[in-house]
């Protein structure tokens, strides 16, 4: 006979839960909560501790069971806390917080197996929801650990007799699910979200649609990633990597602002179609050919901006193409996304539909000294725009002007005057703002472009652009096209060639908000190699797994078919008599397929007979048990046989008892058709459970 296995230790009796099982459920809750803590209020961890403490005292008979009033008070407190934290319950973050809070509070009313299963299933949902925050490798590894623990708890609730058996069955279930998961991932079409939840404002680029001198200098303190890019074909040189995000054409004396096409059309009486268009390619005439084709891996952002290397020309998806030479998505990015974009690398060559006058506007009675300086330099250049602009660039390149990451604060009303004639120290926005004002003062159309310059090139060929790469420069309408002018190239050419970290003046401000950034240790070779290896792995994960789209799926399936066809041809080519062999192999495959169909039909017919004849099903179960050394005694009925074995088969015992019970009800009770069908289905599941559990236990006679 088989060895006797003790009943489960985590269950106090047939239904009630022991303290050990409650601890296991709480550990699972902690694992799930850990996936969310970096994105959710930390006080949710305090809520988990309070719930666990209350259940512990309740089990020690020091507190009563949580009643309806206490549970409703907990839900009300949770809802109020989320409302105070987020200001609303309608955003995605607050809804996730509500799910997590209810998941934690559920432990207060968990007293039996059914409640425990509900807790585990809610944990599965909360684990899946964690991927709304992030889809990186750490999140995937943490989710796998949480799912394994939850599956282990579920198996133990089903009657596992030991931790080893529970882990073995959990691994078996996860192993069976893994091939199906991979197959569905590779071949199943991607389905868009069935609904969209509003999200909190979350900007990845760090840029805003208005800037003042000194704003972008603050971004040098952060190493937050803005986007990653891989070029198809030629890569731009370091002084060509100007990533346009948006243009700013309205100046109030202190700040430069972007004006949306909708506002411009309404304010100036223009048609919106004159300023923006939708489609896969730019509708604006441009003589430039696509020089660069880039695959962008964009970070989530609450704004629809899309960076482009110079003027964007064509994309693999529908975008909004603006007349100022920038591009934006139709919707903000809720998660990381891939975008293929071709661009010219140059400033736009078409005239602004708003006309030159819009880009020469300046507020009255501001920055008088700057206006006077511009008029003097214009006279000295004899009204020649190129000579005038060259004089401006030369002036910025002379002492006492200096480029610094820690510029002095400008407080006066005439901030350009204060910068040009007093502080003479600033960041890219100081010089770009001053140059645009000086150009407009003499009637030259000018605007500021905000975006990024540079990016770190990784050994595998992709670039990473971060907050500290944020940059601002000037575009001037000259000789029938917009011309890019960057005064930073005159005052700090090392910023153009090597990035913000190369600027010595005020270098203490670089990465000041990221004290533990691995970028601070780039001088240590082994640390830098580890950082680059991790970023390469993470990039490939995001691009290959998270960015796996319909095009990738189609290409993968085509490649698989081609490889199989090539393999089949190679096998036939290795053997003589290719024509005859191919015919014989085809015949064998056809016969095998017919045999498989016949076997499947036979199995289906057998199951159909067993489904209508419970006695036949039990006889076959008894025969299967007899083969394993557990035959019935002489004169012993099938139900008595199963009940006798139930006492010595451990985890299979409850299923054997239920088989005997269902058999007796089906044979002797007066049942209606619906109940008879239900009991036959239950009997079928119990028979399968007996076979599965005894096979895993290795029961022998």
Residues marked as catalytic: 428, 471, 486
d(CA 404, CA 672): 88
Q: Put residue 355 in one of left, alpha, beta given phi > 0 → left and psi -120 to 50 → alpha.
A: left
- Determine the straight-line distance between the first and last CA of the chain, rounded to whole angstroms: 5
Beta strand residue intervals within 252-403, DSSP E: 256-257, 276-281, 292-298, 305-306, 308-309, 312-322, 327-328, 337-343, 402-403
Contacts of 48 (CB under 8 A, 6+ apart): 26, 29, 30, 33, 104
Helix (H) or strand (E) holding 645: helix 638-646
Q: Report the side by side order of strands in the sheet with 250-251.
A: 210-211, 256-257, 250-251
d(CA 56, CA 500): 55
For residue 395, what are its two tokens?
């002036």
Q: Are residues 48 and 104 in contact, defined by beta-carbon separation less than 8 angstroms?
A: yes
268, exposed or middle or buried, with CB in 10 Å at 0-12, 13-18, 19+? Answer: middle
Strand duo 402-403 + 425-426: pairing: parallel
Contacts of 581 (CB under 8 A, 6+ apart): 572, 575
Contacts of 681 (CB under 8 A, 6+ apart): none
d(CA 17, CA 5): 20
**To which residue do tokens 């009637």 refer?**
443
d(CA 276, CA 44): 45
Q: How far is CA 257 from the centre of its chain?
A: 31
d(CA 504, CA 495): 10
d(CA 354, CA 270): 9
Strand duo 337-343 + 327-328: pairing: unpaired
Q: Identify which of 98, 101, 108 has the alpha carbon closest to the alpha carbon of residue 22.
A: 108
């Amino acid at each position: 006979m088989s060895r006797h296995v003790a009943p489960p230790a985590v269950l106090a009796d047939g239904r009630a839960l022991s303290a050990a099982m409650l601890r296991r459920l709480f550990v699972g809750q902690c694992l799930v909560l850990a996936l969310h803590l970096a994105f959710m209020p930390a006080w949710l961890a305090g809520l988990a501790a309070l719930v666990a403490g209350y259940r512990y005292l309740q089990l020690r008979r020091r507190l009563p069971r949580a009643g309806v009033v206490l549970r409703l008070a907990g839900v009300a407190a949770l809802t109020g806390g989320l409302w105070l934290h987020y200001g609303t319950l309608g955003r995605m973050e607050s809804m996730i917080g509500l799910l997590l809070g209810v998941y934690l509070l559920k432990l207060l009313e968990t007293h039996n197996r059914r409640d425990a299963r509900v807790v585990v299933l809610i944990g599965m949902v909360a684990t899946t929801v964690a991927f709304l925050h992030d889809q990186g490798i750490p999140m995937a590894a943490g989710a796998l650990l949480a799912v394994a623990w939850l599956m282990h708890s579920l198996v133990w609730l089903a009657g596992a007799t030991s931790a080893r058996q529970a882990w073995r069955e959990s691994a078996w279930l996860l192993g069976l699910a893994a091939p199906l998961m991979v197959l569905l991932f590779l071949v199943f079409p991607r389905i868009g979200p069935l609904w969209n939840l509003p999200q909190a404002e979350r900007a990845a680029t760090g840029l805003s649609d208005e800037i003042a001198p000194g704003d972008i200098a603050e971004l040098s303190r952060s190493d937050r990633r803005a986007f990653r890019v891989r070029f198809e074909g030629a890569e731009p040189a370091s002084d060509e990597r100007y990533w346009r995000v948006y243009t700013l054409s309205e100046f109030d004396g202190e700040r430069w602002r972007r004006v949306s096409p909708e506002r411009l059309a309404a304010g100036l009486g223009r048609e919106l179609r004159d300023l923006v268009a939708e489609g896969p390619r730019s509708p604006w005439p441009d003589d430039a050919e696509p020089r660069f084709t880039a695959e962008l891996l964009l970070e989530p952002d609450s704004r629809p901006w899309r960076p482009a290397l110079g003027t964007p020309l064509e994309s693999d998806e529908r975008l909004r193409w603006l007349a100022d030479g920038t591009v934006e998505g139709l919707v903000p990015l809720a998660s990381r996304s891939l975008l293929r974009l071709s661009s010219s690398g140059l400033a736009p060559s078409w005239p602004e539909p708003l006309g030159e006058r819009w880009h020469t506007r300046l507020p009255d009675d501001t920055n008088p000294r700057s206006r006077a300086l511009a008029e003097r330099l214009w006279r000295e250049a004899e009204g020649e725009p190129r000579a005038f602009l060259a004089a401006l660039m030369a002036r910025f390149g002379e002492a006492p002007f200096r480029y610094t990451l820690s510029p002095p604060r400008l407080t006066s009303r005439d901030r350009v005057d204060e910068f040009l004639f007093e502080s003479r120290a600033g960041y890219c926005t100081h010089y770009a703002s001053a140059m645009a004002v000086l150009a407009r003062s003499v009637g030259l159309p000018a605007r500021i472009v905000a975006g990024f310059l540079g990016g770190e090139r990784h050994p595998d060929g992709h670039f990473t652009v971060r907050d500290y790469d944020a940059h601002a420069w000037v575009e001037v309408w000259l000789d029938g096209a917009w011309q890019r002018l960057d005064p930073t190239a005159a005052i700090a050419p090392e910023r153009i060639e090597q990035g913000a970290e190369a600027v010595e003046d005020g270098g203490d401000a670089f990465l000041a908000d990221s004290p533990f950034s691995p970028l601070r240790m780039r001088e240590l070779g082994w640390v830098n190699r580890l950082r680059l290896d991790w970023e390469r792995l993470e990039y490939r994960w995001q691009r290959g797994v998270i960015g796996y789209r319909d095009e990738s799926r189609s290409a993968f399936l085509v490649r698989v078919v081609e490889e199989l066809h090539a393999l089949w041809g190679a096998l036939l080519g290795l053997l003589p008599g290719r024509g005859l062999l191919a015919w014989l192999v085809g015949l064998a495959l056809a016969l095998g397929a017919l045999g498989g169909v016949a076997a499947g039909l036979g199995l289906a017919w057998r199951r159909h007979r067993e489904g209508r004849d419970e006695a036949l099903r039990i006889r076959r179960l008894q025969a299967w048990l007899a083969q394993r050394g557990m035959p019935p005694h002489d004169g012993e009925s099938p139900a008595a046989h199963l009940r006798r074995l139930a006492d010595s088969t451990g985890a299979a015992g409850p299923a054997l008892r239920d088989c005997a019970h269902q058999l007796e009800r089906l044979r002797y009770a007066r049942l209606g058709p619906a109940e008879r069908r239900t009991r036959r289905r239950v009997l079928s599941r119990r028979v399968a459970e007996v076979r599965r559990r005894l096979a895993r236990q290795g029961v022998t006679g």
